[in-house]
A = this chain, B = another copy of it.
Amino acid sequence: MLTSAKTDLIKVLADPMRLQIVQLLAVETLCTTHLVEMTGAKQTNLSNHLKVLRDAGVVETEPCGRFKYYRLCPDVLESVAESFAELAATARANADNKRAC
C-alpha cells in the first residue's frame, strides 16, 4: 500500500544525484571516496545525500578503518516497486469505473 509516509521515501529517490548513487551501489558496495570519483560531486555534497539515504533506510553503512562502505538495502526498493505495481494493477482492474458528475 502507498501510504502518505511513503512519499518521503519516494522524495528521497526523486533526486538525480541520489538515484545515481543508488544505481552505483546496486552494482557493488562502495565507500565515499569511490562515489566522489565516480559522480564528480564534492565530498560534502555527497555526504549530505548519503545522510538522506541513510535516514530513509535506503542504504546502510559498514565502517572499515578510515573508510566507510555503503551498501544498498534491496528491501526498501522492492517495497516501492510493489507499491507502484499494485497501484498500476488496481488502475487496470478499475479501468472502466467512471463516476457520474
Contacts and interface: CB of A to CB of B under 8 A. Distances in A.
* A interface: dominant SS: helix
A91 B29 CA distance: 9
B26 A91 contact: yes
Contacts of A67: 101
B16 A4 contact: yes
Interface residues of A, number: 51
Contacts of A50: none
Nearest to A92: B74
A39 interface: no
Contacts of A88: 26, 74-75, 77-78, 81
Contact of A84 (B4, B6, B84): B84
Interface in A67-101: 67, 69, 71-75, 77-78, 80-85, 87-92, 94-95, 97-99, 101
